[in-house]
Structure 1
Amino acid sequence: MKDEILVVKNVNNFFGRKQVLKNVSFSLSSGRITGLVGANGAGKTTIMKTILSLTPYAGQIMFEGQPSTFNDHPLLNDIGALIEYPSIYPFMTGMEHLRLFARGKVQSTGIQSLIHMLNMEGYINSAARGYSLGMRQKLGVAMAFVNNPKLVILDEPMNGLDPQSNKELRDLIIDQRNRGVSFLISSHILSELQKLAEDLIIVDQGKVVRQTTMKNLLEANNHFIVLNTSDDKKAQEILIAAGYYLVSGEKVRIKTDANFDIAEILTNLISENIAVHDVKHEDEDLEGSVLELLNTAN
């Protein structure tokens, strides 16, 4: 395991009398992308706000081995963040926002690189009051990166982004990860998060129910065999009659486990004069894996 850049231990948080975080403990490895996953209201945003000392809490948070508390958190200078929606001044341009938030010796070349990677050249010098939701979101992302942080925390960064903008954001995150930056990212768009996250923290009702890797979570859950045959409809009927569990749809998609022997399936089809042109193995996607884990946890 790589060095831990952030350690959260036994953190509790209350809104009035309601406990919203319950003994939350996890760690982030340096130079890796960690996804924070859970249903709406599970506590993801509160966890991020707590790390950033935006809300009081009980427990321990360590950043690079040093304590960070609600009242004393100088180490947050090395953390960039976008929580919920970016705070934007409508009459300032995007460039003025980046220059306002840039600290110390941040070079203009670094700002220009961010603008280029997020494809913001066409509007960065226009007043933010005319920005679309996606344009505002990309400006918020750029503001999180502008001070060359060691850790970046992004809460629903794909909100309002079109497919091209999603790709630009992925490319930026991967580029920064390759430079050693660590990430904690929450998103309800699990198909996008699956393309990025290496590690996962899964939360439910204010508790961490699993910390794992993306690879281990996907491999631990459902596995499918997908067949391309000379007659897919007839192949489905044959396999259902033989007792196999098929996922509904046009494809011949059989739910099984990773160690399943396909020879018996092929024998069933060949005996009925169905030719098999292609066989693929697929693991459950992130959404299915998370739902199954949460259902099991409850």
Structure 2
Amino acid sequence: MQDLNDLLCFARVVRYGGFAAAERATGERKSKLSKRVARLETDFGARLIERSTRSFRVTDIGRELYRECEVILQRLEASEALAMTARDEVRGTVRVAMSAGMLEYLGRTTLVDFMSRYPEVRLQLRLSSQRVDLINERIDVAFRVATRFDTDQSLAMRSLGVGARILAASPALLQRLGGAPETLDDLARFPTLSVGEMLERDRWEFANDVGETCDHHHVPHFSSGDLQLICEAAVAGRGVVLLPEHICEAEIRSGRLVHILPQWHALEGQIHMVFTTPRGMLPPVRAFIDHCVETLAQRGGRGSWT
């Protein structure tokens, strides 16, 4: 029978994609991990991992073994979560993915306050506008905005509220192009700015108070995942923009941007956190989720299990 610790070390090396990565994630020395994997390969009489200074590849038999080991590892982690909960300990690592715009919505102080509140927790943040695969990329919590919720049954989620987006443009742009648009069709004579990376075309979806809907297709003059940069470009008169209200609220109040076509509003996006499962959740992950919900609730948001 194989040594359980050898199997667990092998699973962690595969899970994190290499010996060095596993060492960083677990604190286990790379030399020790390598010895345990080598001993396991001797027991099996076959290579489980093909490695060199430049490459890392799991063999076919290695992948089969990893699937079995991962079941064991997940059960041990669930047991660890129960034990830590019983001891009321909040320590470990939380891996979070969100866009730059979502960070603006959540607030940087939310993360700083969390680290102050739980000094034994290591927080790893990935800023990206790309949709992440939580399971394969080992992400604990991802923030998403969508007009409809995820239907992936392997994911649980917690709602944070509704994000309103409005159309805005600078007074200088409106004056230069003959005044503010009166209909959505009038937007065709204005350059546009879009939230997103490398967008060739974009589509804005709108609705009005009587339930009518309309789309506006356009080729953005400038696109970026950085909402603050997009907002600054709009203030500089580079185009009409559709932004979350909280991003451009100060510019609207100061008159640097004008809210245009207020009779139309973008379809509201549901802001939510997604994670793999609430069962057996490690205390630091649960603490992070609860902290974000509490913080937004204090600012007038809402958070509920869905």
Query: Aligning the two structures, in what range does the TM-score lie when normalised by the shorter sequence?
Result: under 0.3
- Structure with the greater relative contact order (CA < 8 A, sep ≥ 6): 1 or 2? 2
Structure possessing the higher radius of gyration over alpha carbons: 2
Give the TM-score normalised by the residue count of structure 2.
Answer: 0.27
Give the TM-score normalised by the residue count of structure 1.
Answer: 0.27
